[in-house]
Amino acid sequence: MAKKQQNHDIVVVPLRHPWRWVSAAVIILLLGAFIYSLWASPNINHEIIAQFLWNGKVIQAAGLTVFLTVISMFIGAVLAILLAIMKLSSNPVLRVVATGYIGFFRGTPLLLQVVFWGYLGIIYPTIDVGIPFTNIVWFSEKTSVVFTSILAGIIALSLNEAAYAAEIVRAGILSVDGGQTEAAKSLGMGSAYTLRRIVLPQAMRVIIPPMGNEFISMLKNTSLLQVVAVMELYARTSQISSQNLAQVELLVVAGFWYLVMTTILSYPQSYLEKKFGRGFNPADAKKRWLGIGSKGNV
């Protein structure tokens, strides 16, 4: 009697759902057949896949991909906050410039932008540091020396990212109730302090999920840098396959590592979502109050 806590006074025969079982069986069957066809195909050499999966050059290229992603994302996010503030500013020039920037970088293909930065040396053959409109030059160097393909790639990716992320940040800032800013003002807080301590921490809750999307897009978009000869993961595997003609096998290798990286990079997102969600979900907050992850008083 002690085990039975609920007293059901009606007997229910659950409704049967035969089509659920049928549809599940069909899907599993089709999926299994597809995987088997790949596995059994005489045209895919599994040994080559195994051989290159842990190849040092491939791993190194995957490392470069992560580096490009993280640094471009970081620069992009910083620029995005700046652009979002400009777009929300009461200064019409800042507003128009930010809107124009976002329009331009969202309105042209990323591939085109990557190639453009790669060709920068054609527009500016040398990079000079001096006083404009005089003959005084302190430093002059060929663009191709200073402006390496990796630098061109990072600039292309981060400037493009800034345009997308700026709208995400702006949406986040707008999502914070106006009463928050008023309360902050009434306590004597200035606008920069209010943005940093009151508005942005709350906006982050709205900003992080789409930024996670951006992060994953960025990781995959680094593959476009192949066209300016940056030896990231995709460029490296396609270079190898052009020598051994095992195109499909090396696509599998590249795909595997992209999947591994996107999966790993998804973890910081859920951590950040929890961190900036504090106070907004009463149940979560209670856990902290009870001492789990608590930092003590203040």
Partner 1 sequence: MTQLMVDAQGVRKSFGSNEVLKGINLTVSPGQVLCLLGPSGSGKSTFLRCINHLETINGGRLYVDGALMGFREKGDVLHEMKPSAIAKQRSEIGMVFQKFNLFPHLTAIENVLEAPLGIKKQDKASAVARAKELLASVGLKDKENHYPSQLSGGQQQRVAIARALAMEPKLMLFDEPTSALDPELVGDVLDVMRKLAKSGMTMIVVTHEIGFAREVADRVVFMDDGLVVEDGTPAEVIDNPQNPRTQVFIRSVL
Site for partner 1 in 257-276 (CB under 8 A): 276
User: Site for partner 1 (CB under 8 A): which residue of 102, 157, 173, 198?
Assistant: 198
Selected range binding partner 1 among 11-19, 112-120, 138-146, 282-290, rule: CB under 8 A: 282-290
User: What is each CA distance from 271 to 209, 217, 259, 268, in whole angstroms?
Assistant: 11, 19, 20, 5
Strands (DSSP E) along the chain, which ranges? 126-130, 137-142
Q: For partner 1, which is the closer residue by CB, 10 or 298?
A: 298
Supply the minimum distance, in Å, between the C-beta of residue 190 and partner 1: 5
User: Site for partner 1 (CB under 8 A): which residue of 34, 130, 280, 293?
Assistant: 280
Site for partner 1 in 173-192 (CB under 8 A): 177, 179-180, 182-191
> What amino acid is encoded at 95 in this protein?
R
Name the burial class of residue 77, with classes exposed (0-12), middle (13-18) and buried (19+) by CB atoms within 10 angstroms of its CB.
buried
The answer to the question of residue 292 lying near partner 1 (CB under 8 A) is no
The answer to the question of residue 141 lying near partner 1 (CB under 8 A) is no
Q: Which two tokens stand for residue 135?
A: 């003959």
User: Could you give the maximum distance between any two Cα atoms of the chain, in Å?
Assistant: 98
Q: Which two tokens stand for residue 161?
A: 């990212």
CA distance 270 to 297: 25
Q: What is the CA radius of gyration of the chain?
A: 27
CA distance 197 to 89: 19
The answer to the question of residue 91 lying near partner 1 (CB under 8 A) is no
CA distance 112 to 228: 11
Q: For partner 1, which is the closer residue by CB, 101 or 276?
A: 276
The answer to the question of residue 106 lying near partner 1 (CB under 8 A) is no
Q: Considering CB under 8 A, how many residues would be counted as binding partner 1?
A: 29
Q: For partner 1, which is the closer residue by CB, 118 or 172?
A: 172
Q: For partner 1, which is the closer residue by CB, 46 or 197?
A: 197
What distance, in Å, lies between the first and last C-alpha atoms of the chain? 47
SS3 label, residue 139: strand
CA distance 265 to 69: 10
User: What is each CA distance from 208 to 95, 121, 274, 276, 277, in whole angstroms?
Assistant: 24, 37, 10, 9, 10
Contact letters for partner 1, residues 220-259 (x by CB under 8 A): ----------------------------------------
Supply the minimum distance, in Å, between the C-beta of residue 90 and partner 1: 12
Q: For partner 1, which is the closer residue by CB, 89 or 263?
A: 89
Selected range binding partner 1 among 34-42, 99-107, 144-152, 279-287, rule: CB under 8 A: 279-287
Q: For partner 1, which is the closer residue by CB, 83 or 184?
A: 184
Q: Catalog residues that contact partner 1 under the rule CB under 8 A.
A: 177, 179-180, 182-191, 193, 197-198, 201-202, 276, 278-282, 285-286, 289, 297-298
